[in-house]
Structure 1
Amino acid sequence: MNSPLPQSVPDKLPDTRNLGVMLRVLLSANLFALGLALWSTDSVRDAMREYIAQAALLQPTLLFALGSLALLRDRLLRLPYGMGVTVCVLLCTAIGMLVRIGLADFYPLVAQSYLRTLVASSALTLLLLGYFRLRSRAMSPLLTEARLQALQARIRPHFLFNSLNAVLSLIRSEPRKAEEALEDLADLFRVFMAENRDLVPLAREVALASQYLRIEGLRLGGRMQLEWHSERMPADALVPPLVLQPLLENAVYHGIEPAIAPGIISINIFRSRDELHIDIRNPYYKEGGDHHSGNKMAMGNIRERLRLHFDAEASLKTTVGNDYYQVHVTMPYRTAKL
């Protein structure tokens, strides 16, 4: 039985090594500078000149600040939220002042300009941290959990009934195989019913997917053929829970069930530099009818969960060929040690 969801989620600093976070900071900071220029001048032309003039200060400040925060990410995330915010504000303000001093030869040496840099750096840092705090709450583990539960609730009932029927057909002829299938089924639904908020090891997801495919193999027999390519799979990679099994369920439901002839599901999992890749390919039948209707919902659900966990660093792409359907998932390679 699931434990109740927590009533509040502790605030935490954004992941400053995340590409999406960096892009949002760069865009927001430049919009902030443009807004200041528009507010302090009388015309759009003067505002653009002011913005361009200040860009020589803004861009190196942003680069140094993002680099410093990325290097200190792990230490900052271990701090209490309030202390982490204080450190970020002080660090970014100090970097802004150092850049201003370093470019003093190109800008007037007046106290007002230094005061402006101090206020702007502090205000911008606080505004960005506030934005990421609100965004984190809007996409909190509470909502992630609710969406995961919605995904679990959409597990097709026919899967359970068909699996039980396949097990029943084996009880007399192959009781040992029936027992193993029931154990796999129990393990599978234990995971479905458990809380799934955090990233989990890839090895666990692969084991879960293997159990699922063994159960499906009982009723599909030789119609379902599997090709696993996991020689380059990083077993310690952390992935969103229940990301692999729904993809394989789609492959079975849309690629194997509609056909009488045997079909091949190819699963290729590998690491390339700092990215993890999951590639699944199955037969595709244009006359599949209703069998294709659930694809968009399942893919949209997985895309949303990838975005919640990895922001802009993850993607899910689908390709429809003449006789095949391919799903390619890319996400950053992370381990528990990072």
Structure 2
Amino acid sequence: MLLVTSELLVLVLAIVQAKAGWIDWNYFGLLSLFVQWTTLTSAALICLLRQRLAKMSVPRATLSIVAIVLLDVLAFSLFADSVLHPQVGIAVWQDVAKKLLLALLIALMVLRYFYLQHQWQQQREAEMQSHLTALQARIQPHFLFNSMNTIASLIAVNPDQAEEAVLDLSELFRASLRTVDQLIPLSKELDLCQRYLAIEALRLGDRLTLDWHIEPGLEQQAIPPLTLQPLVENAIYHGIQPRPDGGTVRVEAQARGDFVYLLVQNPKPDHNDRQHEGNRMALANIQSRLQALFGEPAVLKHSHQNDIYTVTLRLPRQSANLQTKTNTGI
């Protein structure tokens, strides 16, 4: 971006400088060589010092970067003038001063652009974090009440099973309260889904049938926390619970090329406006988080076919162990 922008600036100056024709090609060639060298060397010096610059305040970092750029331009200007104009005079120093002034203005404009980009990225991450917090806080009251009633009924007849249900419920609440991790391994998200389904299986009994198809080797696939579990929860709430005879929830994960596809299928839900609206809100929330973390490669879509409702999630193939928080430094 810096190279293209600087070259466009050189083109404009060459057009303005031309006294005959459209472009002064000699001026364009010499200025391009000068600008590209100063741009590349300044960017290289700033990259080498980025760890120190990142520890500074914004004003100090700005002054340091401007000083680096001006010193670099000054050095190349003196070198170029010594080659092209061996004699030293007032005109030469005026030319150097013009270059320094132009470099100062361009450096400040570029820094302003990067600062606005940094602010926009911080706002984007804050919005994503608020979406995550809202989603993680949405453990449905009806699920909590049903789970507690189920556990209470099991204490007398099957205390071991009641204890397992309490542990599963505590893991769900622990996940809902943890908002630090932006990405977790797929195996952790699948474990959370299994705990949720284990609790629902106690309540629904034979009405709930589970069908798992998880391709081996995807355990460390990166996925935002509480992405698959809400989809499974929607499958139970909209597709299984309203049906007297229940149905099957199918969870599938497979890799295709550079992507990993996750599918959640359940019987087609009834057209209840309130439930349908809640389902759309959950899908929109997950979609916004995926876009914030992965961008365009991440896709979330849903479809109906042969009385089967399918939610498909496409993620870029990458390991959660290699993920770090988005770099918002200079």
CA distance in 2, matches of 1:282, 1:124: 54
Residue 290 (structure 1) aligned to one of 258, 262, 274:
274
Question: How many angstroms does 1:308 deviate by?
Answer: 1.7
The amino acid that maps onto 1:164 is: M
Of 289, 314, 320 in structure 2, the residue corresponding to residue 335 of structure 1 is: 320
Pick one of 121, 124, 127 that aligns with 1:136. Answer: 121
Corresponding residue of 1:176: 160
Deviation digits for residues 116-151 of structure 1, max 9, x if unmatched? x9899967864553343122111134x433322222
In structure 2, the residue matched to 1:326 is: 310
Report what 1:194 is aligned to.
178
Task: Indicate yes or no: 2:286 matched with 1:313.
Answer: no
- Once the 2 structures are TM-superposed, how far is the Cα of residue 251 of structure 1 from its aligned partner? 0.8
The offset of 1:181, in angstroms, is 0.6
Encode CA deviations 1:162-203: one digit per residue, 9 max, x unaligned: 011111221222111111111111111111122344211211
* Higher RCO (Cα < 8 Å, 6 or more apart): 1
The structural deviation recorded for 1:235 is 0.8
Matches of residues 157-168 of structure 1 in structure 2 within 5 Å? 157-168=141-152
1:1-338 matches, within 5 Å, as: 81=54, 126=111, 129-141=114-126, 143-332=127-316, 333-337=318-322
- Matched residue SS, 1:293: helix
Query: Could you say if the C-alpha distance between residues 152 and 120 of structure 1 is closer, same or farther in structure 2, counting changes exceeding 3 Å?
Result: same
Aligned to 2:92: none
Structure 1 residues 33 and 226, CA gap change in structure 2 (3 angstroms): farther
* Gap runs ≥5 in structure 2: 17-21, 23-27, 70-94, 324-330
Q: Residue 288 of structure 1: CA displacement?
A: 4.2
CA distance in 2, matches of 1:200, 1:76: 32
Query: Compared with structure 1, are the counterparts of its residues 316 and 220 closer, same or farther at alpha carbon in structure 2 (3 Å cutoff)?
Result: same
Identity %: 36
Query: Could you tell me how far apart the structure 2 residues matched to 1:315 and 1:160 are?
Result: 30
**Shift of the alpha carbon at 1:231?**
2.3
Does the CA contact (< 8 Å) of 2:128 and 2:288 recur in 1?
no
Give the 3-state SS of the residue equivalent to 2:202 in structure 1: helix
- Looking at structure 1, the residues matched to 194 and 141 of structure 2 have their Cα atoms a distance apart, in angstroms, of 20
Query: For the residues of structure 2 that align with 1:199 and 1:126, how far apart are their CA atoms?
Result: 31
* RMSD after superposition: 4.6
Contact 1:255 1:263 in 2 (8 A): yes
Per-residue Cα deviation, 1:48-84 (whole angstroms, up to 9, x for no partner): xxxxx9xxx9xxx9xxx9xxx9xxx9x999786379x
Residues 273, 192 of structure 1: alpha-carbon distance in 2 compared, 3 angstrom cutoff:
same
TM-score normalised according to structure 2 size: 0.66
Q: Judging changes above 3 Å, is the alpha-carbon distance between structure 1 residues 217 and 121 closer, same or farther for their aligned structure 2 residues?
A: farther
**Offset from partner CA, 1:245-276 (integer Å, 9 cap, x none):** 11111111111111111311111112223322
Distance 2:168 2:117 in 1: 41
With normalisation by structure 1, the TM-score equals: 0.65
2:73 is matched with: none
- Correspondence for 1:7: none
2-side partners of 1:254 and 1:76: how far apart? 55
SS of residue in 1 equivalent to 2:322: coil
Query: Is the radius of gyration larger for structure 1 or structure 2?
Result: 2
